[in-house]
Structure 1
Amino acid sequence: MPSFTRRTFLAAVPAFAQPPARKISIAFLGAAHSHAEGKIAVVRANPAFSLVGIVEDDPKFRARYETAGLPMITRDRALSDPSIEVIAVESEVKRHAKDGFAALNAGKHVHLEKPPADNMAETRVVIDTARRKQRLLQLGYMWRHHEGMNRMLDAARQGWLGDIYLIKGMMNTLITAEQRPEWNLFPGGQMFEQGCHLFDPIVRLLGRPAKISSVLKTSGNFQDTLKDNTVAVLEYPRAIAMITTAVLQPGAGPYRCLEIYGTNGTAVLRPIEQPVLEIDLAKPAGPYKAGRQRIDLAPFQRYVGDFSELARCVVERRPLSVTLDQELVLQQVLLEASHM
């Protein structure tokens, strides 16, 4: 993890022009996850939120946040202070369900880092608690507000691509030998850790597959059992989806992609960040002409759309765009594909 400074937490975060109707008090319960730094920066830059503090017991991470001048608070205050409306859970993956349950049970709206748990039993407890407490539960799949991804999903839903018969996605990265023990905490390895980001749009588009097959392989030349080279195939009545995800590729970012193939054409998002979207249609449909075309997209900043949606839904007391039922199906598919 890079060293933290005051500037780190505001760098590259867009300005929010619209003043909020009121400030929403938010706290972070855990901040050891790799996405925590970026989310704290986004929350601090969003005028809809007021960051009350961060709960982090690990001395290594706590010292870094303190050095950056960020407020640290106790777990008890985060859960018991009635002025804190929202808790963002950015603890280690093995703690997600426990911390998410604690925050929901305390009556807080929750942004919960993905995956929400490593088993269905704890996932159901968290989701049932959100229903019982009538609180918002937003899972941290980082591309749900990605313009390019949403435009290609919309083209598929509207039928502009024709009948969908194939979806392919790749989500590779490169990790160090020192990182491998942490990523090897779960049997699903890389499929569970990062493949989840591709299961999210596919399952929300096509739903639960009729059959799931996966190969979770240890290909790296290391003395461990990390499933570092993985493939999953989701079979639907009239379509196939294939996800590949590995931790062995140098310079992997430009190769991350999502591709949707239909009988009237193709939508390809490659790379996903910064996004390049091409649509190629046999016949014009919706706003798209026939032939190959590149779609103009705004620069993508992770987490901005997530917390903007969460703020709107808290203030306006309306549901999130992804339902709890959809979250359950997504988690079931991810765990089965991850052999968990």
Structure 2
Amino acid sequence: MKRIKIAVLGILHAHGLSNFKSILTHSEVFEFVGLCPDYETKEEMDKGQIPAEDFRRGFAELQKEFGKIPILSFEELLAYPGLEAVAIESYEADLTKYAIAAAKRGLHIFMDKPGGESVSDFARLIALAKEQNLVLNFGYMYRKNPAVIALLDMIKQGEIGKVTCVEAHMDCDHTDRVRAWLGNFQGGMTYFLGCHLIDLIYRIQGKPNKIIPMNTSTGISGVQSKDYGFAVFEYDTGPSFFKTSAAEFGGFMRRQLVVTGTEGSVEIKPLEYFKDGKMYTDMRVVTRKQNGKENWNAFGEVKTFGPIERYDVMLLPFAAQIRGEQENDYSYDYELGLFRLIAEVCGIKEEEA
């Protein structure tokens, strides 16, 4: 199997260290050439969600496990001989800026979500990738959740009939520091984590007829950022919605996706959970075909998926797409439509980008 020559650009994203570790772990898939940090000072490090001392500790652990990590300048990365791909894990606001530079170099791109706050810049990135037929993957981890993949296949096969409603939750109990940090972005928690949920709803139901955003602040501990995200999407069959909170104790186990159809419903809850150090997910399915037309209160069938390596299931398909062994399930046009939808829910105006 041909290894993909890859560099990592940035590490300040919340998932940066984890995705970086996945690349280093799979040396049979990736030929890692070096890291270009997106920080030089503690102040720049503190732009990220994770405090500087935690980044330093995490990076030191990677060095202890994998040995010395080559450090590249931005110019050295872009000029690296034979480089094929780059994984961009920078501070959220800089993601698209770096991705455009990589696309100009003709590099395949894995970049974390959601892609900065400039709609025009994001559209430019999509155009560059499309022109050169570059593989472009994003860090929406639920796309590769096996229960979500099974659900999408059920919908495609008509097993739950016509979809009438989608409900999605993704909650955390963040520190006051992180909740205040959300104020760096329009939309706050909706920008940071709600984008995952918008991706799910958009994939299942497409563009809504109307959006009613209700992003707000809980005001807990005097923090005024929009740490509570909520929006209703109106469709012909009725409303769907998402909710994301940074101030909900026990919220991780309430992360869920519920899809209702005319012939059944599917509940994935929790979207992820840990057991004996491994990650799993559970899906409950209730259909008329399984349970009888009148048995409306049937519990249904539960299937457990796992263990799941959250970051491996994103990065290994990225390599397979570069090698031409897999197709990307998410088109350039889909990604642009999704970004525009996220921007609208967050209150980001395209003409101001």
Which TM-score applies when normalising by structure 2?
0.85
CA deviation after TM superposition for structure 1 residue 159, in Å: 1.4
1:308 matched to 2:316? The reply is yes
Q: How many residues align?
A: 316
Identity, % of aligned positions? 26
Q: Which amino acid aligns with 2:129?
A: A
Gapped runs of 5+ residues in structure 2?
46-54, 274-280, 292-297, 349-353
Match of 2:286 in 1: 280
**Letter matched to residue 187 of structure 2:** G
User: Paired residue for 2:34?
Assistant: 53
1:298 aligns to what SS in structure 2?
strand
Provide structure 1 residue ranges, at least 5 long, that are not aligned to the other structure: 1-20
Asked whether the equivalents of residues 220 and 248 of structure 1 are also in contact (C-alpha less than 8 Å), the reply is no
- 8 Å CA contact 2:165–2:238 kept in 1: the answer is yes
Aligned to 1:152: 151
Matches of 1:299 and 1:318, distance apart in 2: 22
Shift of 1:173: 0.8
Alignment RMSD, CA only?
1.9
**How far did residue 216 of structure 1 move?**
1.0
Distance 1:84 1:263 in 2: 49
Quickly say closer, same or farther: Cα 1:177–1:325, change in 2 above 3 A.
same
Of 315, 329, 335, 2:337 maps to 329
**Residues 240-266 of structure 1: CA distance to partner in whole angstroms, max 9, x if unpaired?**
211001100123211100000112111
The offset of 1:239, in angstroms, is 3.9
Q: Distance in 2 between the 1:26 and 1:249 partners?
A: 38
Question: Whose helix fraction is larger, Structure 1's or Structure 2's?
Answer: 2
Please state how far the C-alpha of 1:119 moved relative to its aligned partner.
2.7
Opposite residue 331 of structure 1, the aligned amino acid is F
Amino acid at match of 1:95: D
Q: Is the 8 A contact 2:194 2:243 kept in 1?
A: yes
8 A contact 1:164–1:239 mirrored in 2: no
Matches of 1:308 and 1:180 in 2, distance apart?
32
In the TM superposition, 1:109-258 aligns within 5 A as 109-258=108-257
Residue 213 of structure 1 deviates from its aligned partner by 0.7
Aligned to 1:27: 7
8 Å Cα contact 2:180-2:224 kept in structure 1? no
Aligned equivalent of 1:14: none
Following the alignment from structure 1 to structure 2, what is the Cα–Cα distance between the partners of residues 45 and 63? 19
Q: Is the 8 A contact 1:256 1:272 kept in 2?
A: yes
* Mapping for residues 59-74 of structure 1, pairs under 5 Å: 59-60=41-42, 64=57, 65=59, 68=63, 69-74=68-73
Q: Which amino acid aligns with 2:34?
A: G
Shift of 1:296: 3.3
- Quick one: which amino acid aligns to residue 23 of structure 1? R
C-alpha contact 2:173 2:248 (8 A) present in aligned 1: yes
Spell out, residue by residue over 1:27-49, the C-alpha distance to the aligned partner (whole angstroms, 9 max, x if none). Answer: 11111111011101111122210
For 2:101 and 2:6, locate their aligned partners in 1 and report how far apart those are by CA, in whole Å.
Answer: 15
**Partner Cα distance (1:132, 1:79) in 2:** 19
| DSSP 3-state at the match of 1:296 | strand
Q: Write the letter of the residue equivalent to 1:277.
A: M
Structure 1 length-normalised TM: 0.88
- Aligned partner of 1:95 in structure 2 is 94
Task: Report if aligned partners of 1:231, 1:245 keep a CA contact under 8 Å in 2.
Answer: yes
Matched, 1:37 2:43: no
Which residue type is aligned with residue 309 of structure 2?
Answer: Q
Task: Tell me whether 247-256 or 294-303 shows the greater mean CA deviation.
Answer: 294-303
Q: Does residue 105 of the first structure (1) align with residue 104 of the second (2)?
A: yes
Q: Does 202-211 or 156-165 show the bigger shift?
A: 156-165
- What secondary structure is seen at the aligned counterpart in 2 of 1:42? helix
Secondary structure class of the residue paired with 2:213: strand
Which deviates more from structure 2 when the two are superposed, residues 74-83 or residues 86-95? 74-83
| Counterpart contact for 1:207–1:329, Cα < 8 Å | no
Residues 53-74 of structure 1: per-residue CA shift (max 9 Å, x gap): 1111334568553672422221
Aligned partner of 2:12: which letter?
A
Residues 158 and 317 (structure 1), Cα distance of their counterparts in 2 relative to 1, 3 Å cut: closer
After superposition, the Cα gap between the structure-2 partners of 1:268 and 1:317, relative to the gap in structure 1 and judged at 3 Å, is closer
SS of equivalent to 1:284: helix
| Deviations, residues 77-108 of structure 1 (Å, cap 9, x unaligned) | 11111322110110001101101101111111
